Homo-oligomer: A and B are copies of this chain.
Amino acid sequence: MNLGFLPNPDPAQKHGWLERARKLTPKLRHRTLRPVCEVRMVADPASFQGWRVEPCAEAEAAPARVIEPGGAVVVDFGQHLVGRLRLRAGTDQGVAGAPLRLRFLFGEVPAEIAEANGPLEAGQCLSWNWRQEETVTLDVLPAELRLSRRYAFRYVKIEVVDRSPYARGARLSEIRCATENAVPLQLPPSPTGLPPDLQQIDAVSLRTLRDCMQTVFEDGPKRDRRLWLGDLRLQALASAGTYNQLPLVERCLCLFAGLARDDGTVMACLYEKPAPVAGADFILDYAMLFAPTLMDYLDAGGDLGLAREFWPLALRQLHRPLTCVDEHGRFQVDATCWNFIDWHDSLDRQVSMHGVLLYCLARTVALGERLGCRAELAGLHACRDRLTTAARAAFLDPADGLLRSGPARQVSWASHAWGALGGILTTAEAAAAFRRLPAVPEALRPAGPYLYHYVLEAMFGCGLDAEAVALLRYYWGGMVRDGADTFWEVYDPAQPKLSPYNNYLINSYCHAWSCTPAYFFRRYAKAFA
From B134, B141, B149, B165, A127 is in contact (CB under 8 Å) with B165
> Could you tell me the distance between the alpha carbons of A211 and B191 in the complex, rounded to whole angstroms?
68
Does A139 count as interface, using CB distance less than 8 angstroms? yes
Find out whether the CB atom of B142 lies under 8 angstroms from the CB atom of A274: yes
> Could you tell me the distance between the alpha carbons of A142 and B99 in the complex, rounded to whole angstroms?
30
Q: A94-B277, A134-B137 are in contact. Are A127 and B271 (CB under 8 A)?
A: no
From B162, B224, B225, A128 is in contact (CB under 8 Å) with B162
Q: A137-B134, A139-B149 are in contact. Are A127 and B93 (CB under 8 A)?
A: no
For A161, the chain B residues whose CB sits under 8 A away are 129
Does A100 count as interface, using CB distance less than 8 angstroms? yes
Q: A137-B149, A165-B125 are in contact. Are A130 and B277 (CB under 8 A)?
A: no
Minimum CB–CB distance for A512 against chain B, Å: 18
Find out whether the CB atom of A99 lies under 8 angstroms from the CB atom of B165: no
Does A166 count as interface, using CB distance less than 8 angstroms? yes
Does A96 count as interface, using CB distance less than 8 angstroms? yes
The digit string for A72-114, where 1 denotes a CB below 8 A from any CB of B, is 0000000000000000000001111111110000000000000
Minimum CB–CB distance for A202 against chain B, Å: 31
Considering only residues 196-246 of chain A, those with a C-beta below 8 Å from chain B are: 224-225
The digit string for A109-143, where 1 denotes a CB below 8 A from any CB of B, is 00000000000000001111110001101011111
> Could you tell me the distance between the alpha carbons of A96 and B101 in the complex, rounded to whole angstroms?
27
Find out whether the CB atom of B280 lies under 8 angstroms from the CB atom of A99: no
Residue of B nearest to A124 (CB): B165
Does A23 count as interface, using CB distance less than 8 angstroms? no
Residue of B nearest to A506 (CB): B98
Does A8 count as interface, using CB distance less than 8 angstroms? no
Q: A135-B135, A140-B273, A273-B140 are in contact. Are A162 and B127 (CB under 8 A)?
A: yes
Does A163 count as interface, using CB distance less than 8 angstroms? yes
Of the listed residues A126, A127, A140, A280, the one surrounded by the most CB atoms of chain B closer than 10 A to its CB is: A127
Does A164 count as interface, using CB distance less than 8 angstroms? yes
Find out whether the CB atom of A98 lies under 8 angstroms from the CB atom of B135: no
Q: A129-B101, A149-B137 are in contact. Are A277 and B163 (CB under 8 A)?
A: no
Does A188 count as interface, using CB distance less than 8 angstroms? no
For A140, the chain B residues whose CB sits under 8 A away are 273-274
> Could you tell me the distance between the alpha carbons of A245 and B52 in the complex, rounded to whole angstroms?
62
Residue of B nearest to A128 (CB): B162
The digit string for A142-154, where 1 denotes a CB below 8 A from any CB of B, is 1100000110000
The digit string for A266-294, where 1 denotes a CB below 8 A from any CB of B, is 00000101100101100000000000000
Residue of B nearest to A94 (CB): B277
Of the listed residues A100, A128, A129, the one surrounded by the most CB atoms of chain B closer than 10 A to its CB is: A129
Interface residues in A, total, Cβ within 8 A: 39
For A137, the chain B residues whose CB sits under 8 A away are 129, 134, 149
Minimum CB–CB distance for A121 against chain B, Å: 14
Q: A137-B149, A140-B273, A273-B140 are in contact. Are A127 and B164 (CB under 8 A)?
A: yes
Minimum CB–CB distance for A267 against chain B, Å: 12
Minimum CB–CB distance for A82 against chain B, Å: 13
> Could you tell me the distance between the alpha carbons of A101 and B143 in the complex, rounded to whole angstroms?
25
> Could you tell me the distance between the alpha carbons of A308 and B488 in the complex, rounded to whole angstroms?
74
For A277, the chain B residues whose CB sits under 8 A away are 94-95
> Could you tell me the distance between the alpha carbons of A50 and B490 in the complex, rounded to whole angstroms?
51
Minimum CB–CB distance for A88 against chain B, Å: 12
Minimum CB–CB distance for A456 against chain B, Å: 32
Residue of B nearest to A142 (CB): B274
Find out whether the CB atom of B93 lies under 8 angstroms from the CB atom of A280: yes
For A141, the chain B residues whose CB sits under 8 A away are 274
For A101, the chain B residues whose CB sits under 8 A away are 129
Minimum CB–CB distance for A169 against chain B, Å: 13
Find out whether the CB atom of B99 lies under 8 angstroms from the CB atom of A127: yes
For A271, the chain B residues whose CB sits under 8 A away are 95-96
> Could you tell me the distance between the alpha carbons of A137 and B95 in the complex, rounded to whole angstroms?
28
Minimum CB–CB distance for A506 against chain B, Å: 9
Q: A135-B135, A149-B137, A280-B166 are in contact. Are A127 and B98 (CB under 8 A)?
A: yes
> Could you tell me the distance between the alpha carbons of A273 and B142 in the complex, rounded to whole angstroms?
9
Residue of B nearest to A103 (CB): B135
For A162, the chain B residues whose CB sits under 8 A away are 127-129
Minimum CB–CB distance for A34 against chain B, Å: 24
> Could you tell me the distance between the alpha carbons of A124 and B277 in the complex, rounded to whole angstroms?
51
For A280, the chain B residues whose CB sits under 8 A away are 93, 166
Q: List 14 A-B contacts (CB under 8 A).
A: A95-B279, A98-B126, A98-B127, A98-B130, A98-B224, A99-B129, A126-B164, A127-B162, A129-B137, A129-B163, A137-B149, A139-B149, A139-B225, A139-B273
Q: Which 4 A-B pairs have the closest CB atoms?
A: A98-B127, A99-B129, A140-B273, A101-B129
Given A139-B150, A141-B274, output 14 extra A-B contacts at Cβ < 8 Å.
A93-B280, A97-B127, A98-B130, A99-B127, A100-B129, A126-B165, A127-B164, A127-B165, A129-B162, A129-B163, A129-B164, A134-B137, A135-B135, A140-B273
